[in-house]
Amino acid sequence: MQTVAFWILLLLFVGAFAAQVARRVQLVAAAPNTFSLDRLGFRTSRFLLDVVLQRRTIRERPLAGLMHAFVFWGFVAFAGYTLVEFLYGLGLVDLTHARWFHAYRIALTPFATLVLLGIVYLLIRRVFVRPPGLGPKLSLESVVIGLFIATLMITFLLTFQLVEGTLAAHINWWVHALVILVFMALIPSSKHLHLVLSPITVFLKSPELGNLANLDFEKEQVGLETVKDLGSKSVLDAFTCVECGRCQVNCPAWGAGKELNPKTIILQTQDALLAGERERKLGEVYSEKVLWQCTTCGACENQCPVGIEHLPILIGSRRGLVSNGDAPDYLGAMYNNLERRSNIWGLGYDQRTKFVQSAALETFDPAKHDVLVWLGCAGSFDADFQKSLRALFGILLARKVKFGVLSKERCTGDPAKRTGNEYMYQELAKANIADLEAAGPKKILTSCPHCVKTIGDDYKKFGYQVEIVHSSVYIEELTRDLVRGAKADPLQSAKASAERSNGHETVTFHDPCYLGRYAGKVDEPRALLTRFGATITEPERNRDNPFCCGAGGGLLFADKEEEPGSRISDVRFKQLQATGANTVVTACPFCSIMLKGAQASAQADTQFVDLMTFVKDRL
Ligand code: SF4
Ligand code: SF4
């Protein structure tokens, strides 16, 4: 009788589970295929760290992350127990009296205790602490699931107390089994589907932050216009969101009070897919205004513990808007400059030539030069940033590095690519690649982190491979021998050297998103600063999770960021000011422009120094 009842219930609940999963599988299968399995070694090690060891979950929020990890590890450990109990309940085979199973049950008791501890902590946090990322409304579903998990652990622990064959033991067994069945039926329609999907999405997540495949114009690809254009990875991502809000609280746009919330973008995608709104325009699903508020800083994608990629959705939707002529006016002017003059400022190339001549720069020749210096739009035309480049040239000359520049450069195409003007980006990229291939450098050096990303990652998609390094990384290596005992551990020695030196200067360093987060270069700028006598005081949000300056994603060109909220650059400037340091060191031309603008608005007397100028002045 018990067996028959269990068979019926199992079929009912498994049926409910399968029907809901099938609907989601169908939606993923119907989407254009964007799954990729390149760099399998990297993906496997990331899987082990982020899924098995829960690195990302624990690193960002150590206590809550550890409690979540206890629950996850408990789930994995209990899989075999559940299977054996279900086989017994179905009358198929009784392994519950095997000696190994007895040992296994005993081994599970510490897991059960830790899961119980973890789930009670997470329930208290959700119901009483209510962190902002979880949203203003208490999720009843999360509370129910939390209570289910607690019940499973309590009923398991009770099996050691209750005598087998008694009514109490029977009731306990049924409560445990029923909770599992109901839980299973609830999973697909809840955020707990991440239990099943997140190992897959983490494995499938691109190894490259902000990875955007080139559009193929011959196949008439124009970007994402409607819900049905979303790629298969984006569709899978939409069903995996655990609604933790990490992307939200780390988003500079949300932090500055804008309407953009990356968590909402993912949940809106999920709703539109489940509602079958295949033909609905993405500009309506998310609102066009919101799509233009993204700086492409990558914080959302980088912080997400379940491998969700926001940028293919955000920039993909921008591509769709641009192809329909729906870009904001301020971008129209920038595109015009790129089209007519191949640089974002729309200035004549004679100005770059004048700079190249006044700095006595040679045209790159692979037989003569070690490295090609890429000036970038800022270096070619912005008088302020040219001072930084002159400092870089001074350091290179002092260290006897032979370098040259291209006789002509165009913008790498970064602002066009991140704002969705793929056609313009590809025109610029192909022309630059032709020039670079003709020049033949083995190594490129630049002071612009955006150029590092575009030439280093995006140009690879056209088959062009070159080593490109940011000046902070190159000069850090080049000046290591200036530190006594540097050979043992250059970064540590730099710190020790600075501590020995007198006349410390306290500075704060603003990590550019495209250097700290995208390229992961956070130690080298700091090593340079300490090596040349600075004491660093860190701002809120630093290293590989900086708060954006507000320039990326074309927002450098916006007259003023869309209301409501504050300017992102003002928020960042206040964070830098709060360190108490009177000097802010920057390492990106666009961060420098934005933060100086914020300083002017705040009428503060903070000094801004570019990293290369800082080093050159103290060399
Ligand atoms: S890339 Fe940055 S600005 Fe854009 S949604 Fe993500 S966190 Fe927000
Ligand atoms: S997208 Fe990722 S980080 Fe954002 S709420 Fe969902 S799971 Fe959390």
Distance from the CA of 246 to the center of ligand 1, in angstroms?
11
Distance from the CA of 502 to the center of ligand 1, in angstroms?
41
d(CA 155, CA 145): 15
Give pLDDT tens digits for 554-576.
999 987 655 678 899 999 999 99
Check pocket membership of 296 for ligand 1, CB cut-off 6 A. yes
Instruction: Report, at the CATH architecture level, how domain 342-476 is classified.
Output: 3-Layer(aba) Sandwich (3.40)
Distance from the CA of 52 to the center of ligand 2, in angstroms?
18
Does residue 590 have a pLDDT over 80? yes
Give pLDDT tens digits for 119-142.
999 999 999 998 888 888 888 889
Ligand 1 atom nearest the C-alpha of 299 is 7
Q: Is the peptide bond before 449 cis (omega within 30 degrees of 0)?
A: no
pLDDT at 562: 59
Mutate-to-test residue for ligand 1 from 548, 549, 561, highest number of ligand atoms within 8 A of CB: 548
d(CA 82, CA 91): 14
Contacts of 485 (CB under 8 A, 6+ apart): 493, 496
Q: HEC string of 221-270?
A: CCCCCEHHHCCHHHHHHHHHCCCCCHHHHHCHHHHCCCCCCHHHHHHHHH
Ligand at shortest distance from the CA of 290? 1
Give pLDDT tens digits for 509-541.
999 999 999 999 999 999 999 999 999 999 999
d(CA 180, CA 38): 37
Average pLDDT along the chain: 94
Distance from the CA of 229 to the center of ligand 2, in angstroms?
22
CB 455 within 8 A of CB 444: yes
Give pLDDT tens digits for 449-493.
999 999 999 999 999 999 999 999 999 999 998 764 444 454 554
Contacts of 22 (CB under 8 A, 6+ apart): none
Domain locations in the chain as residue ranges: 2-30+61-186, 217-323, 342-476, 477-617
Check pocket membership of 204 for ligand 1, CB cut-off 6 A. no
d(CA 225, CA 204): 24
CATH class of 217-323: mainly alpha
Does residue 152 have a pLDDT over 60? yes
For domain 477-617, give the CATH number: 3.40.50
Fold matches, 217-323 and 477-617: no
Query: In this structure, what token pair is assigned to residue 129?
Result: 């602490």
Q: HEC string of 560-609?
A: CCCCCCCCHHHHHHHHHHCCCCCEEEECCHHHHHHHHHHHHHHCCCCEEE
Length of the chain: 619
